[in-house]
Amino acid sequence: MLIMRKARGSIARVPVSTDTLTSSTRETLRRYRVPLVILFVLIVTPASITYYELGLNSVNGTHPELVTASKTANSTAATFYVTIHVWSWAGSLDTQVNEPLFSLTVDNLPFGTRVGSSGTFSPNNFISYTIAFKTADSSIAQEIRNSDTNYIVVQISADVSAGWYHASLTKSDSHIWTFS
């Protein structure tokens, strides 16, 4: 291949090879091509599989934990204030929770769904959400007001991802709470 190169103040046609490999380098690569490919596969494949599995475990281990709950209720409305930690029992990688939807039921009575903010938690950590769930249904409010002990179920639905793995999850946590 000919490339135009400036030589001593004038432009001249000087043949320049675009192939920078010497013949001995080409011969070495030809001779060790298969072992190099095998070595590459032996290193990259297990590392890729391990990284994928770490993401899969981090995502599938993600769940909500109901931490605190309080309530106010009168004859026309009831409100539950809950703190929820979202974390993974198998967290090995940073895990992203995208646009989580939280639903609350109390004594099998619906209190609606709220949208939480997206967030990321690292291994051995969590995202904390404090959410108010309110109902203006007077029959539900009166039932909640008349009960000191409530069975509370919180559910999360979210797109969760870690590493190369992504899934849409729905998980729940429940507790029996006694209010004084």
Q: How many C-beta neighbours within 10 Å does residue 135 have? A: 21
Domain 59-178: CATH architecture, name and number where available? Sandwich (2.60)
> Does the pLDDT of residue 37 top 50, yes or no?
yes
Give the pLDDT score at 86. 97
Entry pTM: 0.77
- Closest residue by Cα to residue 128 from 73, 56, 64, 59: 64
Give the pLDDT score at 2. 47
Angle ∠(122,123,127) on CA atoms, nearest 5: 50
Residue 16, classified by CB atoms within 10 Å of its CB into exposed (0-12), middle (13-18) or buried (19+), is exposed
> Does the pLDDT of residue 91 top 50, yes or no?
yes
Q: What are phi and psi of 141, to 5 degrees?
A: -60, -45
Structure tokens at 16: 């320049």
Report the range of poorest mean pLDDT among 25-29, 62-66, 97-101, 171-175.
25-29
* Res. 106 pLDDT band, cuts 50 70 90: very high
Structure tokens at 103: 């639903």
* Res. 33 pLDDT band, cuts 50 70 90: confident
- Closest residue by Cα to residue 113 from 97, 142, 141, 134: 134
- Find out whether 136 and 110 touch, Cβ atoms under 8 Å: no
Give the pLDDT score at 22. 78
- What one-letter code names the amino acid at 80? F
Give the pLDDT score at 1. 46
Q: How far is residue 156's CA from residue 40's CA, in Å, rounded to a whole number? A: 41
* Res. 20 pLDDT band, cuts 50 70 90: low
DSSP lists the bridge partners of residue 151 as 176
Mean pLDDT computed over 158-171: 96
Report the range of poorest mean pLDDT among 25-39, 51-65, 70-84, 93-107.
25-39
